[in-house]
Amino acid sequence: MSRRAHRPAHPHVALPVFPRTAHALACPPTHDRREDEAAPMPVEFLGIAATHDGSEVTPRSGASFNKDYTLELARAHEEYGWDRVLFAYGSGSPDPSPAAAYVAAHTERLQLLVAHRPNVSYPTFAAKTFATLDRISDGRLAVHFITGGNDHEQRREGDTLTKDERYARTREYIRIVKKVWTSREPFDHEGAHYRFQDFVSDTFPVQQPHPRVSFGGSSPAAYAAGGAEADIYCLWGEPLAQTAEQIASVKAAAAAAGRTDVPRIQVAFRPIIAPTEELAWEKAHHTLARIKARKAGGALSRRHPLTSPQNAGSQRLLAVAAQGERHDRALWTPTAAETGGAGNSTALVGTPETVAQALLDYYDLGVTILSARGYDLLDDAVDFGRHVIPIVREEVAKRDARRGAERAAERTAS
Tell me the backbone φ, ψ of residue 203, rounded to 5 degrees: -125, 110
- Residue 222 located in a structural domain: yes
Q: Which amino acid is at 209?
A: P
- Residue 283 located in a structural domain: no
- Residue 208 located in a structural domain: yes
Q: What is the pLDDT of residues 290-320, one digit of tens each?
A: 999 998 877 665 566 666 677 888 899 999 9
Torsion sign (Cα): 146, 151, 156, 158: positive
Q: How far apart are CA 111 and CA 376, in angstroms?
A: 22
Helix residue spans in 149-276 (DSSP H): 151-155, 163-182, 220-229, 240-256
What CATH code is carried by the domain that includes residue 77?
3.20.20.30
Beta strands in 16-69 (DSSP E): 44-48
What is the domain count for the chain? Answer: 1
- Residue 217 located in a structural domain: yes
- Residue 326 located in a structural domain: no
Q: What is the pLDDT of residues 18-74, one digit of tens each?
A: 765 433 433 334 444 333 443 445 899 999 999 999 999 999 999 999 999 999 999
Q: How confident is the model at residue 9 (pLDDT cuts 50, 70, 90)?
A: very low
Q: How far apart are CA 94 and CA 62, in angstroms?
A: 13
Q: How far apart are CA 384 and CA 18, in angstroms?
A: 10
Contacts 24+ apart (CB under 8 A), 404-411: none
- Residue 15 located in a structural domain: no
Q: How far apart are CA 138 and CA 127, in angstroms?
A: 16
- Residue 159 located in a structural domain: yes
Per-residue pLDDT at 15 exceeds 60? no
- Residue 320 located in a structural domain: no
Strand partners, 372: 269
The residue range of the domain holding 79 is: 38-275+349-413
